[in-house]
Amino acid sequence: MTNRIEKLFEEKRRKGEKSLVFFITAGFPDREQNEDIIYTLAESGCDILELGVPFSDPIADGPTIQRSSERALRQGVTLGKILESVKSLRERTEIPIVLFSSFNPLLKFGLNTLIPQARKAGIDGILCPDLPPEEGGELSALCRDNGLSLIFLIAPTTLPERKKFIAEQSSGFIYYVSLKGVTGAREQMSSDLSQQVKEIKSFTSLPVVVGFGISRPEHTHIVAQSGADGAVVGSALINLIEKYETSDELLQKVKEFVKALKNGLKSSG
């Protein structure tokens, strides 16, 4: 059962292109603007959307994404409402959507209920940054049976034998955390990025996307040159939304931002 994520990377591989992935907190800054921003992302060159489930006790989120989660929670955003939003989004876009969540909200909702509902709503993959693959057996089986990808993270400190194990448990793509610490825009990219990507690819044929700290076209250019298959941008987008959310320029600024990062990703030669 091939889902939108797998189809996208197959097409990108044929064309020799890289993928641009954006993270946005569901319901931020409000539901209406959130949907408008997602449509703008999809129309401007975003290839995959990571839709963040707001949670009060994040593991890896830096202050920018924490702020967006707090605002979404204050507005009553829940996992059930997020699935309803995805159904609405699917009326206008076929962009692959990954549900990005700490494990606790998924567990509270009920995995046996959530995964079939997520598939029906139009979710293509699940990413739980705090779920060790050793404990992901139930979720993995449910995702497999429902045609969803289960994406795991590899960190700069992950040992080679564990990288191999994580790669074997993953589907859809592998998320490489390029920097130590929490999410957030940074000035510099890791100096050993190409080496890390090469090592991960020695263990798997899955695409490898790089996240954490990516905020500028120079960064997506470095990712493209590293041999990775894509770049993830999160905090920099949230910062942009916070800056322009009360302005008529918001969607235009989002469009320009996506296109600039996409151009950086294309310049891999």
* Per-residue pLDDT in tens (0 to 9) along the chain, 269 residues: 579 999 999 999 999 999 999 999 999 999 999 999 999 999 999 999 999 999 877 665 667 888 888 998 899 999 999 999 999 999 999 999 999 999 999 999 999 999 999 999 999 999 999 999 999 999 999 999 999 999 999 999 999 999 999 999 999 999 999 875 444 444 556 678 999 999 999 999 999 999 988 999 999 999 999 999 999 999 999 999 999 999 999 999 999 999 999 999 986 54
> Which residue in the list 50, 70, 130, 168 is annotated as catalytic?
50
SS3 content of the chain, % helix, strand, coil (to 5): 50, 15, 35
What distance in Å separates the CA atoms of residue 168 and residue 206, rounded to the nearest whole number? 9
Predicted structure pTM score:
0.93
Q: What is the CATH number of the domain that holds 148?
A: 3.20.20.70
Q: Work out how many domains the chain is built from and give that number.
A: 1
For residues 124-158, one letter each, b for 16 or more C-beta atoms within 10 angstroms of the residue's C-beta and e for the rest, the string is: bbbbbbebebeebeebbebbeebebbbbbbbbeeb
The answer to whether residues 144 and 179 touch, using CB atoms and an 8 Å cutoff, is no
For residue 205, what is the DSSP state? S
Specify whether 61 is catalytic. yes
> Which residue in the list 61, 168, 245, 249 is annotated as catalytic?
61
Strands (E), 69-152: 97-100, 125-127, 149-151
The answer to whether residues 211 and 177 touch, using CB atoms and an 8 Å cutoff, is yes
Domain hosting residue 47, numbered range:
4-12+19-266
Closest Cα to residue 240, out of 99, 32, 33, 51? 33
Specify whether 134 is catalytic. no
